[in-house]
Amino acid sequence: MAPCKGSAVREATSVGAVLIGVFDSGIGGLSVLKALRAEMPHEHFIYVADSGHAPYGERDEAHVLERSHAVTRYLLSQNVKAMVIACNTATAAAIHLLRAEHPELTLIGVEPALKPAVALSRTGRIGVMATRGTLASAKFTALLAAQAGQADFVLQPCDGLADAIERSAQTGETAETIALCTRYTGAMGLFSTQTGQIDTLVLGCTHYPFASDHLRAMVGADVQIIDNGEAVARQTRRLLQGHEIASAAPGQVSLFTTGQPYTLQAAAGRWLGLPDPVKTLLI
Ligand code: DGL
């Protein structure tokens, strides 16, 4: 497939006068896009997987910031009215700067659901799986500090897991994902609703909901597994209230990647039932 740039891309994405941009380092943001489409079925979306520059979670903050700027510039050139940073790592690294630089843009980020986890947990012991970058960020440190004294958090950086999930979307082969989930849940300690054990698991990376069946098998049926996709979708709808497209027709989705189209194509088809062709983006 020929890569596109500039006006060719603009033509390819002219699905409506208004668009909501959604981006992630890869296919993980599809978990948020799924919730967004369920919440706002008539809105048009343009999704960018920055797979050519992933993973974000194991790169330095400057890289994630630079890529967040590049994707934002592209989405703005497509006249998005709102942008959802469907990536915890990019939100932590870039949202404060993007907000300052683009006050006109409705900007929504995603962060690990610590507060909802505190509200749900009975044992007061909460596991948090996230990328190394998210857990090391100043934003996450502040988020954690805001919950100080409310619960014990077991923080688990999950090197390689987002990448393994990308590969499994492409090949259907889940052994690597299962092995990493086993290793990381094992390192966190015991899961159950018994006193002193982890009864709530926060998925602090948008890729991880796509491994939730494996995680569920490991932590047991009684442990609550939570991510922020639906909350982000509700928040996006609230912020866009009054700006929705007055149309009964289903919204369209345009899919772009800076990497190999096949991974996003396979994941969007498998997990969201989106048959649309993925285009390669040079940004
Ligand atoms: N999906 C991204 C997040 O939510 C991270 C994946 C990566 O490391 O690139 O943090």
Question: Where do we find the tokens 């992630």?
Answer: 24
Q: What is the mean pLDDT of the chain?
A: 92
pLDDT digits (tens, 9 = 90+) for 222-279: 999 999 999 999 999 999 887 665 566 788 999 999 999 999 999 999 999 998 899 9
* Rounded Cα–Cα distance for residues 259 and 97 (Å): 25
- Shared domain for 74 and 206, answered yes or no, is no
CATH number of the CATH domain containing 135: 3.40.50.1860
Atom of ligand 1 nearest to the CA of 130: 10
Q: Which of 6-15, 133-142, 152-161, 262-271 is predicted with the least confidence, judged by mean pLDDT?
A: 6-15
Mean pLDDT of the region 20-43: 96
- What gap in Å lies between CA 208 and CA 26, rounded to an integer? 12
**99 vs 247, residue with greater confidence:** 99
pLDDT tens by residue, 203-223? 999 999 999 999 999 999 999
Which residue lies with its CA nearest to atom 8 of ligand 1? 57
The band of 162, judged by pLDDT with boundaries at 50, 70 and 90, is very high
The verdict on 197 and 254 lying in the same domain is no
- The pLDDT value recorded for residue 245 is 59
Query: Which residues have CB under 6 Å of ligand 1?
Result: 24-26, 28, 54-57, 87-89, 131, 134, 162, 205-207
Pairing of strands 253-257, 278-280: parallel
DSSP assignment string, 51-116? GGG--STTS-HHHHHHHHHHHHHHHHHTTEEEEEE--HHHHHHHHHHHHHH-TTSEEE-----HHH
Q: Are residues 27 and 62 in the same domain?
A: yes
Q: Ligand 1 centre and the CA of 15: distance in Å?
A: 27
Question: Cα(262)–Cα(149) distance, rounded to whole angstroms?
Answer: 46
The confidence score (pLDDT) of residue 18 equals: 60
| Structural domain range at position 262 | 3-110+230-281
- Residue 17 has a pLDDT of 44
Q: Pocket of ligand 1, candidates 23, 60, 131, 258: which has the most ligand atoms within 8 Å of its Cβ, to mutate?
A: 131
8 Å CB contact between 224 and 200: yes
In the chain, the number of structural domains is 2
Task: Determine the distance separating the centroid of ligand 1 and the alpha carbon of 90, expressed in angstroms.
Answer: 8
- Asked if 60 and 101 sit in the same domain, the reply is yes
